[in-house]
Amino acid sequence: MFLTWNPTYWLFAAPALILALIAQAWVRRSYQKYLEVRNGAGVTGLEAAQRMMRQLGIHLNIERAPGMLSDHYDPRRRVLRLSEGVANRASVASLAIVAHELGHAAQDAQEYTPMRIRSGLVPVVNFTSWLGPILFILGYWLSLRPIAWLGVLAFGGAALFALVTLPVEINASQRGLRLLERSGILTSRAEKKQARTVLTAAALTYVAALAQAVSTLLYYVFLLGGGGRRRD
């Protein structure tokens, strides 16, 4: 948007943007590296999912997800979607990703409070994440400060969502690693360390998302507080 023409914007945005680029590079590098490392049990992602679901005592339909790093758990339909690379390969990365997504399934089954809060925020954030910037720009450039502050409040929903998402994702990874250990699929400390590396890299992307949302929110407040061009 045209507010980014203000050089001051990059003082707020640049650190979060750099963190996001680092996170994306790390998660792709870790995924691609450990997708080539065969796990000692010789278990594909699909086979691991079936084994761990039995251990959890839950049943989910498994569907294929197109693309790379597109694996996810859908709590509305109770479906586990796995990419071709994860479902069909007996790699350490496949185990880590499947375990993480089943960690979400376990959260759902146990009605994990942060996950329920995040799910409740989804329809609100889908609306306010695009409405907030529009209201802010309109209010800021037309000197309608109440409208601009309403935009800040609306966009704050995106920052809140990112904040709630972070512990949900970290907890899912912790659950997934414990599940892999109990199932006996991880056969060595080295594999556990490798799986943790994949999941830690993925977690950093959520830290970056939170940093980006907060930096944008702070920039809006900075402008309204007199730090940028004033229209009133």
Instruction: Report which of residues 91 and 8 the model is more confident about.
Output: 91
Domain membership of residue 220 as a residue range: 14-227
Residue 4 placed within a domain:
no
- Split into its structural domains, the chain has a count of 1
Query: Count of alpha carbons within 13 Å of 19, Cβ hemisphere only?
Result: 18
The per-residue pLDDT of the chain, averaged, comes to: 92
Confidence of residue 3 (pLDDT cuts 50, 70, 90): low
**What amino acid positions are annotated as catalytic residues?**
101
Confidence of residue 7 (pLDDT cuts 50, 70, 90): confident
pLDDT in tens, 177-230: 999 999 989 889 999 999 999 999 999 999 999 999 999 999 999 999 876 554
Residue 139 placed within a domain:
yes
Residue 36 placed within a domain:
yes
Residues of the chain with pLDDT > 90: what percent? 85
3-state secondary structure the chain: CHHHHCCHHHHHHHHHHHHHHHHHHHHHHHHHHHHCCECCCCCCHHHHHHHHHHHHCCCCEEEEECCCCCCEEECCCCEEEEEHHHHHCCEHHHHHHHHHHHHHHHHHHCCCHHHHHHHHHHHHHHHHHHHHHHHHHHHHHCCCHHHHHHHHHHHHHHHHHHHHHHHHHHHHHHHHHHHHHHHCCCCCHHHHHHHHHHHHHHHHHHHHHHHHHHHHHHHHHHHHHHHCCCCC
Residue 2 placed within a domain:
no
Residue 101 placed within a domain:
yes
| Residue 117: both structure tokens together | 């809060």
Residue 207 placed within a domain:
yes
Is 147 in contact with 138 (CB distance < 8 Å)?
yes
CB atoms within 10 A of CB 11: 12
Q: Is the pLDDT of residue 91 over 50?
A: yes
**pLDDT at residue 160, rounded to an integer:** 95
Q: Is the pLDDT of residue 231 over 80?
A: no
Q: Is the pLDDT of residue 4 over 70?
A: no
Residue 44 placed within a domain:
yes
pLDDT in tens, 50-64: 999 999 999 999 999
Residue 210 placed within a domain:
yes
**pLDDT at residue 228, rounded to an integer:** 55
Sequence-ordered list of residues with C-beta below 8 angstroms from that of 153, at least 6 positions apart, any chain: 132
**pLDDT at residue 232, rounded to an integer:** 44
Q: Which residue is listed with tokens 């309204």?
A: 224
- pTM of the predicted protein model: 0.89
